[in-house]
Structure 1
Amino acid sequence: ALKEATDADTKWAPKIQALKADDDLTVSARDWTDVTSDTGGVREAADAYLDTIKPPPKNNSPQDNANWWNGLSQEQRDAYVSMHPASIGALDGLPSAVRDDANRMVLAEARGAAQVEYDTWLKKHPEPTRHTDYINPMTGTIMKGVKVDSVAWKEWEEARKSAHKSIDGMDAIQNRFDQTGTKGLPEAYLLGFSTEGDGRAILANGNPDTADHQSVYVPGTTAELGKIEGDINRSVNVWRSADDNADGESVSSITWLGYDAPDSVPKDAPFEHYAYDGAPALNRFLDGLETSHTGDTAPHRTVISHSYGTTLVGAAAQAGDLNADDVVFAGSPGVKVSGAEEMDVPKGHVWNEEAEGDVVPDLGRYGHGGDGFRIPSDEKFGANQMTTDTEGHSGYWDEGSTSLQNQALVVVGKGEDVALKPPPNPLTSEEVLRSK
């Protein structure tokens, strides 16, 4: 025993001594990059210890993940979270509090690294002169007292925004953390995070493991980490409206950016592989919510999707088993099933919203209608057509709107109270005139 203790001390002591912070009370971006570097050495020593523990299952089954986690001692769990937070944070089926702890570590390190990288970019690309004289294109003369942004500055600013984009997304997540308690907003849980590619983030308002009602929002085209603030706000609005209608029951609303969304409507959105590539991850996540739930009764789960996100949800139902009780489509260009009965939820529990001035459903209807896409806005699809009072493609979550209220009623299991659009008149226009 003494020899084992001495060997452990010899192995770990130099690594632990390397974990020194600056002599100040400020945790800077540079400190977080040092953490990443320093813990690398500790991980080398820790892996020998972790190798003695059965590793996480490789098949990504949420139930197998949960069984593995439950079989570890608290010391072993702590070691895994400390040494491999990204791996633990990505395991569907583990408790939300565990995933949140792990992913917050990953977020902090990634935020520090991104800030250092951005600061380096600024040093290499100093800001050019912003303003220049305005030249009248008609006369070719300089207009005195009129200044405009120079071409060089516009190009620099575009590049700067691109270099800062991932930081914008990470700051939006941190801002949501900081909003906890504001107007009753519950604790946030970071259930997934990565900066690879366009980035991934899964953020819950309220603990889904204990919630009576869960909603999972899947965004559409152009969704990425750098633009996630708007998607987070939509889920916050869903939570507030659902909480107001929950009669004291608990609600957790989740933003699920767990797939590579199309970057462009005309160039990328017509392709279905984005949906089928992301569908397995969505199905695993929903199964994981079922596995990690600790309430006395199973939660009521609603999947809400927008734009191309509706295509992904349809693909998830087609390619797997969508673990949901209700499905809400908003501004859908089409889904990969022929009707509501194929959405893996009880009859009458598929809902759709199409707002005035939203051209996306028509783009799907006339651009992809013959290519396997089905439009939930069409009567033959069989979805409940909810009343909408918002306009355009992005207003479905406007605060105080009927569009948002209807979604919230579905989330809390009050579908009977949802305001529905009247069915289309089956009579022709000539027959309508005759009847009058």
Structure 2
Amino acid sequence: MDYATLKAFKPTEFEGAADGYRALGNAAQAAKSHIENTVATGMRKSLSGESAKASQKQLQALAKNFHYTLTECHVISTALNGFAYDFAAAKRKLEAAVEDARADGCTVTENGSVSYPAGRKPGAEKDTEGGTVTGTPGGNATSDALDRQAANIHPNPHYGKAIGYADRIADALKEATDADTKWEPKIRALKADDDLTVSDRDWTDVTADTGGVREAADAYLDAIKPPPKNDWPQDNANWWKGLTDEQREAYISMHPASIGALDGLPSDVRDDANRTVLAEQRAAKQIEYDAWLKKEPEHYKPYISPVTGREVKGAMVPTDEWKEWEEKRKKLENGYKGMDAIQSRFNSFTSESNRPYLLGFDGDNMGRAIVSIGNPDTADNVVTYVPGTFAKLESIGGDMDRAVALQAEAERQDAAHSTASIVWLGYDAPQGIMTDATETKWADNAKEPLGNFIQGLEESNHRPNGVNQTLMGHSYGSLVVGETMEMHIDLPVDNAIMVGSPGVGVDHAKDLNIPPDHVFAATAQNDLINVAPPFAKDYLSPKAYWDTFFDGDAIVHGTDPTSEDFGGQVFEVPDGKLPGTDWEMMPAHSQYWDEKPLGTMGKIVTGGRL
């Protein structure tokens, strides 16, 4: 980077280009929204048949194209703003050095060197001619000391200050050169394939682009006020309101997972951010899966009789290598089942009232997802359902079906008011009935994030009369709900529902910090959760265990919420299927979304009384 180039550089031109890409991204976002929320939904409501299905696939592909376009445009916009920010800082240093030099009687030449006039030191008999010096960047204590020594020795008193200005100019040029070196490969990488298909590889390229720009744009991003460290929903909301549109889009483009997880932010903002994370992680999973398929080893080998030790003619068995390969293949396949279920929900909703919003997403490990059916920011009623044992991203489809059913029932019962129904899988649920589910640690880790989420819903919903919130737990999820409500004494929850509960962590409904008559519970007669005993405090005492087992109100995690001693409201549900029906161990444990209990829960969610 030379003096003339930096002097002529105009950061506003790149900032203008950034604004253009940002506007293009916003236009793509508007187009995507129109296709998904108006065109596709309208067709699903009015058209059917093979042609309609084919049209839906084309619309989904087009929406995907626009999604990719808006994501990349916002990344490019951030890159250009970051590039301009770095160069503007270098140029300000250059201009300041030039201005100071001129004010001090020096002249900056066209190549950035500094000319100084003739001068005479005190005591000298005549002036010493002026000259021109070129600066050296990156001064340190040693070089600065040498410069001072040279200035003291030099007979012209202007020599020292000229060296100082020249070094400042050299520092500015080096800063600009470093910025150019840093940004050149990052910006060059911001290009797409020259086709009209957005592939999985394109989405992984977005991930790489974002990481590269985020690393390079650190100074620009650091200039934007970061989210509050306390992660309190109200503070998050105030932080978001204080940002400009440009800053918001920069944060979403560079930190989509973080923005998607911030309680208190508008639901459409979280949804946009999390859907980008979903698209990137789903693409990465597919690429990993496809690569693994290419590594399939020999499937079969001849069967060797353990009796004779000889090969059995015509008999073949899977190889050990293939078994290991197949086990990992199934694991990889299961890793994206939940992602596909979420995307399928976005591809199938029929109206604004049951439009899904992705309020949280993490595809790592067991996976996490928070999905709302309906917009909780505008809803009169919001119900948040916490699933229990065995819940994980892989099986989120079934939990979303439950949320859909409850939302539809609530709006059927109370068509004058809107209801948003949320499945909150924002925690790692236990994966074993007699092992993990007997421990409270899963609920202990979930109660703070669930409380923040509920508080965030209250913050993002600004209805004049407030929002009617219901917190619902099924199975182990009821323990999560109970611990959360006990911990947060001022949680904005109006009603609580516990179904198939092993206990909610408290002995009385009043301990949940809402009126006991707003706490509702039900357990089917044939639900095996009824015979799950609490654990004796003294494992070495048979009598202690016997007394505990036959304490009719005591279950695994406290007092049975359907007992009279608990003090809440109990509603009726069918007995449910007997254990072993259809080869299921606990079929009744999953029947709380059948017609009768669903109707009762819809009544509770909409503020009705039993």
**TM-score normalised by the shorter chain: which range applies?**
0.7 to 0.9
Q: What is the CA deviation profile of residues 74-112 of structure 1, one whole-angstrom value per residue up to 9, with x for unaligned ones?
A: 111011011110110010000000000000000000001
**Residues 389-398 or 78-87, more deviating:** 389-398
CA distance in 2, matches of 1:222, 1:148: 36
Structure 1 equivalent of residue 601 of structure 2? 407
- How far residue 370 of structure 1 moved from its aligned partner, in angstroms, is 7.6
Distance 2:319 2:410 in 1: 48
Counterpart residue number, 1:296: 464
> Aligned pair 1:51/2:222, yes or no?
yes
Q: Decide whether the 8 Å contact of 1:190 with 1:203 is kept in 2.
A: yes
Partner of residue 238, structure 1: 406
3-state secondary structure, aligned to 1:252: strand
| In structure 2, distance between residues paired with 1:222 and 1:3 | 58
Are residue 394 (structure 1) and residue 593 (structure 2) matched?
Answer: no
CA-CA distance at 1:316 after TM superposition: 0.9
Change (3 A) 1:127 1:216: farther
1:180 aligns with one of 344, 349, 358? 349
Is the CA contact (8 Å cut-off) linking 2:502 and 2:557 kept in structure 1?
Answer: no
- Counterpart for residue 62 of structure 1: 233
Per-residue deviation at 1:362?
2.5
Does residue 1:351 correspond to 2:520, yes or no? yes
Q: CA–CA distance in 2 between the matches of 1:415 and 1:150? A: 60
SS in structure 2 at match of 1:201:
strand
> Which of 114, 121, 126 is 2:285 aligned to?
114
Could you tell me the TM-score, scaled by structure 2's length?
0.62
Cα separation, 1, equivalents of 2:557 and 2:290: 47
| Secondary structure of 1:381 counterpart | coil
Unaligned runs of 5+ in 2: 1-7, 15-82, 88-179, 306-311, 537-547, 549-553, 578-587
Residues 516, 567 of structure 2: 8 Å contact kept: no
1:70/1:117 CA distance change after superposition, 3 Å: same
Q: Identify the residue that residue 88 of structure 1 maps to in structure 2.
A: 259
Paired with 1:48 and 1:352, the residues of 2 have a C-alpha distance of: 54
Distance across 1 between alignment mates of 2:297 and 2:608? 56
Contact kept in structure 1, 2:210 and 2:253, CA below 8 Å: no
Which of 523, 531, 548 in structure 2 is aligned with 1:362? 531
Find the aligned partners of 1:157 and 1:405 in 2 and give their Cα distance: 44
SS of 2:527 mapped into structure 1: coil
1:167–1:62 distance in 2 versus 1, CA, 3 Å: same
Does the C-alpha gap of structure 1 residues 413 and 148 become closer, same or farther in structure 2, counting only changes over 3 Å?
A: farther
Distance 1:410 1:22 in 2: 53
Matched, 1:380 2:565: yes
> Normalized against structure 1, the TM-score is what?
0.86
| Cα distance in 2, alignment partners of residues 187 and 370 from structure 1 | 39
Partner SS, residue 217 of structure 2: helix
Distance 2:328 2:224 in 1: 46
Against the structure 1 CA distance between its residues 149 and 210, is the aligned structure 2 distance closer, same or farther, given a 3 Å change threshold?
farther
Return the match for 2:475 from 307, 318, 323: 307
Q: CA 1:154–1:356 in 2, change beyond 3 Å: closer, same or farther? A: farther
Q: Note closer, same or farther for the CA distance 1:160–1:51 as it changes in structure 2 (3 Å cut).
A: same
Quote the residue 2:426 is aligned against.
258
Match runs of 1:313-324 below 5 Å: 313-321=481-489, 322-324=491-493
Residue in 1 that maps onto 2:296: 125
Question: Residue 285 of structure 1 corresponds to which residue in structure 2?
Answer: 453
Per-residue CA shift, 1:334-355, capped at 9, x if unaligned?
1111111111222301111111
Q: How big is each residue's C-alpha offset from its partner over 1:112-141, in whole Å with a ceiling of 9 and x where there is no partner? A: 1111111122222347259x99x9xxxxxx
Taking the aligned partners of 1:149 and 1:414, their CA distance within structure 2 comes to 61
Q: CA deviation at 1:317?
A: 1.8
The structure 2 residue matched to 1:342, chosen from 511, 532, 554, is 511
- The whole-number CA distance in structure 1 between the counterparts of 2:535 and 2:525 is 17
**C-alpha deviations, 1:141-199, integer Å up to 9, x for none?**
x9x9xx999686776544322121120010010011111117x8621100000123211
Give distance in 1, aligned partners of 2:318 and 2:455. 53
Superposition CA RMSD, Å = 2.8
Q: Offset at 1:44?
A: 2.0
Q: Which moved more, 1:153-162 or 1:252-261?
A: 153-162
Residue 194 of structure 2 aligns to which amino acid in structure 1? D
Structure-1 separation of matches of 2:474 and 2:188:
50
Higher relative contact order (CA 8 A, sep 6+): 1
Q: 1:162 aligns with which of 324, 331, 348?
A: 331
Q: How many residues align?
A: 405
- Report the Cα distance in structure 1 between the residues aligned to 2:414 and 2:317, rounded to whole angstroms: 51
Contact 1:85–1:105, Cα closer than 8 Å, also in 2: yes
* Shift in Å, 1:296: 2.4
Query: C-alpha deviations, 1:376-397, integer Å up to 9, x for none?
Result: 1222111211111244101111
Please report how far the alpha carbon of residue 324 of structure 1 lies from its aligned counterpart in structure 2 after TM superposition. 0.8
> Which has the larger Rg?
2
Residues 37/362 of structure 1: CA separation in 2 closer, same or farther (3 Å cut):
same
C-alpha contact (below 8 Å) 1:220/1:262 kept by paired residues: yes
Distance 1:39 1:155 in 2: 35
For 1:355 and 1:275, how far apart are their aligned partners in 2? 23
